[in-house]
């Protein structure tokens, strides 16, 4: 069977049996196109070898491709081989390779001064400004994921015990202390802004003007707007405040295990990435100090 015919069968399989979207299938096709542009001499399925994929990976690395791109292409090609093997078109073994490790990216972090500027950006003369201030303070004080912040309900806030109950990934429950500033502005929002919105009887804590829960897109735009208004030109997203929460706690001497629990990380290795950020910032400050001596 010719390679082009095998690809056509594979595409039909992805659409009909796997039910993949057009966009996903096009990505698979593009990966196969790149693979067979490298092996221009392979015209028939019988020309394929179990060892072709390793050669292709080495070629991709030598051309400076990112590990994330190579990982995706490796998966696409292995799936193609597995399809051919399952349907009896390929007699060899499905390639077994050690995929490249995806490069870990350190989360972007603001300085404490930049965080303060960001938290003070909303206009407290408006109900929406009071709400946004409460959201930003709460996210930073408790290290919330954006999904956790936007899904918070009024009953999750215990003002008597100064605790926020959070339901994170996998509906796992954790309790995080509610800081003084966050509590102050959550109370201000409840007393001065929330009851002026439609849908005030909604169980959700943070509502838009229509009385619906705040959307991720809206909150992202608000954070970008506030960052620009105070001159922060770093890449920033709602998740940035969660990163800052963890980094600033560790820089302040907090124990890693305690930070892990507050973030809701199952594996402490996930939390340890923030120790690299903290160390990097400390070394940077030390280098600057030495230069000025």
CA gap 63, 47 in Å, rounded: 25
Catalytic annotation, residues: 145, 169, 239, 242, 265, 274
Q: Which two tokens stand for residue 185?
A: 């502005």
Q: Which two tokens stand for residue 37?
A: 């542009």
CA gap 269, 276 in Å, rounded: 11
CA gap 205, 24 in Å, rounded: 37
- Cβ atoms of 143 and 245 closer than 8 Å: yes
Q: Which two tokens stand for residue 125?
A: 């003369």
For residues 143-165, one letter each, b for 16 or more C-beta atoms within 10 angstroms of the residue's C-beta and e for the rest, the string is: bbbbebbbbbeeebbeeeeeebe
CA gap 245, 107 in Å, rounded: 12
């Amino acid at each position: 069977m010719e390679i082009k015919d095998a690809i056509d069968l594979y595409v039909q399989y992805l659409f009909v049996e796997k039910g993949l979207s057009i966009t996903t299938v096009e990505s698979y096709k593009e990966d196969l196109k790149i693979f067979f542009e490298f092996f221009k001499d392979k015209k028939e399925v019988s020309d394929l070898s179990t060892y072709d994929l390793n050669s292709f990976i080495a070629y991709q690395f030598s051309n400076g491709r990112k590990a994330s791109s190579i990982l995706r292409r490796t998966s696409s090609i292995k799936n193609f081989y597995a399809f051919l093997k399952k349907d009896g078109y390929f007699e060899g073994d499905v390639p077994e390779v050690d995929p490249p490790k995806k490069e870990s990216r350190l989360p972007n972090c603001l300085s404490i001064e930049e965080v303060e500027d960001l938290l003070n950006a909303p206009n407290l003369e408006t109900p929406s400004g009071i709400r946004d201030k409460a959201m930003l303070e709460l996210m930073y004080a408790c290290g919330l994921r954006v999904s956790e912040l936007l899904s918070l309900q009024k009953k999750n806030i215990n003002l008597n015990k100064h605790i926020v109950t959070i339901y994170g990934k996998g509906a796992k429950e954790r309790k995080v202390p509610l800081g003084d500033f966050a509590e102050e502005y959550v109370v201000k929002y409840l007393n001065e802004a929330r009851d002026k919105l439609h849908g005030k009887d909604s169980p959700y804590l943070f509502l838009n003007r229509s009385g619906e829960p705040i959307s991720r897109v809206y909150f992202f735009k608000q954070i970008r707007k506030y960052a620009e208004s105070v001159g922060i030109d770093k890449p920033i997203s709602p998740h940035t405040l969660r990163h800052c929460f963890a980094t600033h706690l560790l820089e302040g001497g907090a124990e890693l295990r305690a930070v892990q629990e507050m973030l809701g990380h199952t594996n402490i290795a996930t939390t340890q990435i923030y120790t690299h950020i903290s160390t990097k910032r400390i070394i940077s400050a030390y280098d600057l100090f030495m230069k000025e001596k």
